[in-house]
Structure 1
Amino acid sequence: MKINVAGILIDNLSKREVLDYVTQLLRSQKLCYLVTPYSEQIVFALEDEEYKKTLNGAALALPDGIGVLWASKYLHSSDSLLKTLFAIIFNRPYIRSVIQEQITGSLFVYDLVRLAAENNFSLALVGGEGNVAAQSAYELKKLYPNLKVNLALSGRPFDEKIIQEIAASNSDILLIAYSPPKQEKWIAANLQKLNVKLAMGLGGTFDYIAGKRLLPPQFMRTIGLEWLWRLITQPWRIKRMWNAIPVFIWKIYMYKKNHVTN
């Protein structure tokens, strides 16, 4: 079931249902991509119709971030802005009453990789700085020794040559570390040439896999404070935090005011 969040169609599925569907997609021989929209990406989509179409063209759009769950509840109820915002910390079941499960891309990737290892699907890891893709491949193979990684490339421009190298790798799954909105647009524009069954943009996730950065602690994820952890550990992200929190809240408020009748 899809939930409309400010014009972005988000899948309301459990992680188990997502993994079952991904397995079907990989076995169907269809070419497709999945996205993991979070608050900043929804801001981009509200300002960029092409990007909105790209997100809505994905085989799956997974709710990455408590902000997406909050927006789904706020837009699909008559409750006030403040009530729904306070509920993020103080009333988790209420916030999860429309979209029920948050599926964070930086954690879901491990489920996807495990699925690949168990079903003999191969990976291509592309993007990031230095040799982070190769380091990520090394760490993932330590976790899943049967994992097949056909390609691991970092520090390269996303040009025609890299498309050819991805296609020549004959990989089933492509994981791209580029950054939104570029990564989703690039995948959608080049999907037919990549020779992969499933592509997914991961942003900075390779840095977490390779151990260059630490994921937010579980208790902070539980109460929706991942953003605070990232602000503390990566203070240079403050402009992105501005987009992801106050700008996002304002955009959702205005969207409801102009488009939604409860």
Structure 2
Amino acid sequence: MLETKKVLGISFVHSNMNQLTDELHERIKDSKKTFVVTANPEILKLAGSQPSYKKTIQSADYVIPDGIGVIVASKLVGSPLHERLAGFDLMTQLLSLANDHSYRVFFLGAKPEVIEDAVHNIKKKYPHIDIAGYHHGYIDENDQSIVDEIQKKEVDLVFVGLGFPKQEEWIANHLSLFKKGIFIGVGGSFDVWANRVKRAPKVWQALNIEWLYRLLKQPSRWKRILNVFQFIFDVFFMKLTGQLKK
């Protein structure tokens, strides 16, 4: 089991990407049902104000620090995490595993045309993946047909891109219905795979300023970026006033 550190009441994976991928691969091979949350500052901010959502995050088998804001917060609370583990990067690692071992994969989320393009591009890059199916994100929470399809095809990896908190809640509410599979919320990753959004160049990622690149490319994201800085400020303020707990 990977080492974890508690940040704002949530146990985060304290490892590098290779260690995390290796452990998840072992769970795939052992058919261990697994819930993975890619937690960014916005998710933590919402969890801080909605106890029910926080419980959903806490119920996950693995919560990874997806965002430099989470790393900054971990340092402020005196529980520094090893490194940022981007959800898109983890998705890429898992797709590579699926390609090497012909694992069955299901994709849920995004607009109909986006998920179609994303699946097409993924299949093109990873031709040996067994795509069990996909469905857009405009679904009824209780749509049993999606559950039935995942069950019937005994899917190994389920990528859910419904946006937070819906993706985490969908996984938590349906996980008991499945016998196996890695279930992971991937936010807007399908938009990247569909070439609707571009990731920052590697050098920007290495400098932890991917957020700035995205803001320059999509000025309309300023509210989301502002939320990240607000989150860091809130944590810092709690530390100054003695309200902060790990």
TM-score (norm 1): 0.85
Secondary structure, in 3 states, of the residue corresponding to 2:183? strand
SS at match of 1:103: coil
2:233 to 250, 257, 260: 250
* Offset from partner CA, 1:93-125 (integer Å, 9 cap, x none): xxxxx3222110112211110111212211001
Which stretch has the larger CA shift, 8-17 or 161-170? Answer: 161-170
| Alignment check: 8 A CA contact 1:44 1:51 kept | yes
Q: Which residue of 2 aligns with 1:58?
A: 60
Question: How does 1:106-117 map onto structure 2 within 5 Å?
Answer: 106-117=88-99
In 2, the alpha carbon distance for the partners of 1:53 and 1:251 equals: 21
Name the stretch that deviates more: 110-119 or 151-160: 151-160
Contact 2:159–2:183 (8 Å) recurs in 1: yes
Residue among 44, 65, 69 paired with 1:42? 44
Aligned to 1:119: 101
Question: Any unmatched runs of 5+ in structure 2?
Answer: none
Shift in Å at residue 194 of structure 1? 4.6
The share of aligned pairs that are identical, in percent, is 29
**Cα distance in 1, alignment partners of residues 153 and 222 from structure 2:** 38
The correspondence for 1:214, drawn from 198, 202, 209, is: 198
* Mean Cα deviation higher: 227-236 or 109-118: 227-236
Question: Residue 72 of structure 1: which of 71, 74, 78 is its match?
Answer: 74
| Residue 260 (structure 1) shift | 4.2
Which of 120, 138, 160 lines up with 1:176 in the alignment?
160
Aligned partner of 1:249: which letter? I
Q: Alignment length, in residue pairs?
A: 240
SS of 2:112 mapped into structure 1: coil
Residue 134 and residue 188 in structure 1: after superposition, are their counterparts in 2 closer, same or farther (change >3 A)? same
Comparing 43-52 with 147-156, which one deviates more in the overlay? 147-156
Shift of 1:215: 0.4
Q: Distance in 2 between matches of 1:169 and 1:242?
A: 42
Structure 2 match to 1:152: 134
Encode CA deviations 1:157-188: one digit per residue, 9 max, x unaligned: 14323333333343111101100111111111
Does the CA contact (< 8 Å) of 1:43 and 1:251 recur in 2? no
Partners of 2:56 and 2:169 within 8 A in 1: yes
Equivalent positions of 1:185-200 (< 5 A) are 185-194=169-178, 196-200=180-184
In structure 1, what is the Cα distance between the partners aligned to 2:137 and 2:163? Answer: 13
Separation in 2 of the partners of 1:114 and 1:17?
A: 15
Is 2:8–2:245's contact at 8 Å kept on the other side of the alignment? no
CA RMSD of aligned residues (A): 1.9
1:104 to 70, 86, 100: 86
Does the 8 Å CA contact 1:164/1:194 hold for their aligned counterparts?
no
